[in-house]
Amino acid sequence: MVTAYIALGANLGDRVAALKQAIASINALPLCSIKKISSLYKTAPLETLPGHAPGADYINAVVEIETSLPAPTLLQHLQQIELAAGRERPHINAPRTLDLDLLLYGSGSIDSADLTVPHPRMWQRAFVLVPLAEIAPGLVSDLQLQAVRDQKIAGFDVDFWL
């Protein structure tokens, strides 16, 4: 079994329901089980970066799973979950009903045309680092959190359970 971390986000539709359904779907995947779920966080779209479209605030979380699926297969399943949630890709970084990013897959590194792990931009994003640090504090340093401290992120108080 490998420990993997997946970032979840949504800024269209019923964002909380989309994350709940995604977590249930991930937990139902063959050879996968969720071990930890972060709190929910609310963040504004990263409009200051090129290619990021404005839109409603995102609701984000990170989950830790244990899996025997190879990383490319896990990625395919995550993309199918996104599609089932109505994910469309009209342009890069468009607002979305659901976004699932494979952040880490064990201690390995993958660099292929379809998958890069660790996720190449995770260290630049508070909406990834803050929930990841919550459930796996040993994976995120204080220095990494300091680097994203100017990005607004707030806890999202909702009764959230699997």
Residues marked active site are found at 87, 96, 99, 101
* 3-class DSSP assignment, residue 115: coil
* 3-class DSSP assignment, residue 104: strand
Q: What is the total residue count of the chain?
A: 162
Bridge pairing between strands 32-37 and 2-10: unpaired
E strand or H helix at 103, and its extent? strand 99-105
Contact, 81 vs 63, CB < 8 A? no
